Amino acid sequence: MTFTGSTDEDLKLALAHESTIIGSDSFPLMKSDDMMAYSWNTSYEGLQGHPRAAGTQARVLKMVREDNLMPLMSAISKMSYMPAEFLKENGVEQMANKGRIQVGADADITLFDPETVQDNSTLKEPGLPSTGIPYVVVNGTVVVEDSQVLKGVYPGQAIRNSISK
C-alpha cells in the first residue's frame, strides 16, 4: 500500500483516521499468458499484478501489531463492518447481514493470529498468500482449514442488485 508522492507516515495517518474504510482497489492477478488467475488450482508463484490483490488486510493487521497503528478492533471494523455498512447505506441492502457477528448475520468469519498474521505478497511475487490466517468460514462453511484453501468448496453467495428497466 503506497500513495504516490506520500510518506509511510502519511499512509499510517490515512489508515488510522476514524472514517477510513480499508479495502483494495487492485485488479485481479494475471498469469504469464495474460489470463486472469481465477482457478483455485493456479500457483501462487509467478503471477503478475499488485501485492494489494493478496495482502491488503494482512498488511494492515501487521501494521496494527508492529506500528501500533490503531486498536485491533478498529482495524477489524474498518475491514468488515464499516465497508458493509457503507454499502448498505448506499443502496446495497444485502450488506445488512455482512461485517458483523450476531444472531441472524451471515456466517463469514476469518480467524487469524494477531501475533503472526502478515502479508507476504511483493511487487515481484504479488500472489503470495498471507500467513497467520488458519481458518476462513464463508456462509457457515470452512473454506480455509489449517491455512490451506479447500478445493471444491464454494459456499459464497453473490451480492447482486436487481436489474431495472
How many CB atoms are located within 10 Å of the residue 29 CB? 20
pTM for this predicted structure: 0.86
Q: Report residue 6 as a C-alpha cell.
A: 506520500
Whether 3 is in a domain gets the answer no
Q: Look at the chain and report how many structural domains it folds into.
A: 1
Per-residue pLDDT of the chain (165 residues; tens, 9 = 90+): 555 678 989 999 999 999 999 988 878 888 888 788 777 777 878 888 888 888 999 999 999 999 999 999 999 999 999 999 999 999 999 999 999 998 988 889 999 999 999 999 999 999 899 999 999 999 999 999 999 989 999 999 888 877 776
Q: Is residue 118 part of a domain?
A: yes
pLDDT digits (tens, 9 = 90+) for 142-155: 999 999 989 999 99
- Residue ranges making up the domain that contains 84: 28-149
Whether 12 is in a domain gets the answer: no
User: Burial code of 69-108, b = ≥16 C-beta within 10 A, e = fewer?
Assistant: bbeeebbbbbbbebbbbebbeeeeeebbebbeeeeeebeb
